[in-house]
Structure 1
Amino acid sequence: MATITATDYTAIVERYLAVWNETDPAKRQKLAEAAFTPEATYTDPLAAVAGRDAVDMVIGAVQGQFPGLVFTLGGPVDGHHDIVRFTWHLGPEGGEALAIGFDVARIAEDGRVETVLGFLDMVPGA
């Protein structure tokens, strides 16, 4: 695998978060094709799915549960080899986070996400 730079890791995570923030299903699908491999897996405490289409369904469900909220980076992106980790915030644009999580992702040779392991650090009502 080619060497991934700090700038590359950040760009990969920004592409990933753009998918989570796109509410138009057709546009989100195009973004997902650029961000995730076809076989991508996503696992967090509330979901465990395989395949880019299934990941997209999870994203759509989260958007339905939290309409109008956006995902933003909660700090610096860190990575090594083909692994990247980052904290994200979910809340109103420009407002305080209502949910905070931490994701670790494995990056495929083509720069797309192939595996995500997510953790929820703070959730609404907790």
Structure 2
Amino acid sequence: MKKVFTQTLLLAALLASTHNVLAESITMNIMTTQPAPAGLQQLIDRHFAIWNSTDVAEREKAFAAVYSSDFFVADYDGLNEGTDRVNAAISKVQSQHPGFIFTPAPVEWNHGIARVTWGYGPKDNPYLVKGEDVFTISEGRLSSARVFISR
């Protein structure tokens, strides 16, 4: 009798904890769902237009509408902070790969972080290089970009 009672208590405890885990999971999913900010795709499109532009002055004019004042890009070459350094990094990438352009996929949003996969290459092979950028957003502008290359 004691063994049956112990097994019954154990089974009840297991079922109760399973219910709590399921309830927490459901509650967590409901509470953490967050829609993407309005205009996010357009912001990302403008970012890639800047990186595809070969005109240094035009890029610089577009920066204020797309990037926060403390915007930085972190990639395998290092950390580029501010308009001048980011603009120089863009020029460097373009000089190393003349005629290449970025071809981004639609932006994905997950709890305050934006992610975009992309191809980079000439028009006849736009996915020669593949990668992704992970962005943070602040006050409607991009505040950081972390670049990952998948090759």
Name the TM tier (shorter chain).
Answer: 0.7 to 0.9
Q: 4+ residue runs of structure 1 moved beyond 3 angstroms?
A: none
Contact 2:134 2:146 in 1 (8 A): yes
Tell me if 1:113 matches 2:142. yes
Tell me if 1:58 matches 2:89. yes
* CA-based RMSD: 1.8
Whole-angstrom CA distance in 2 between matches of 1:29 and 1:78: 26
What is the deviation of 1:107?
A: 0.8
Tell me if 1:41 matches 2:72. yes
Q: Tell me which moved more, 79-88 or 54-63.
A: 79-88
- TM-score, structure 2 as length reference: 0.71
- TM-score, structure 1 as length reference: 0.83
1:100 to 105, 125, 130: 130
Tell me if 1:88 matches 2:104. no
1:67-82 paired onto structure 2 within 5 Å: 67-73=98-104, 75-82=105-112
Tell me if 1:9 matches 2:40. yes
Percent identity over paired residues:
34
Contact 1:21 1:71 in 2 (8 A): yes
The structure that is strand-richer by fraction is 1
Structure 2, unmatched stretches of 5+, are 1-35
The higher-RCO structure (CA 8 Å, 6+ apart) is 1
Whole-angstrom CA distance in 1 between matches of 2:65 and 2:53: 13
Whole-angstrom CA distance in 2 between matches of 1:96 and 1:39: 31
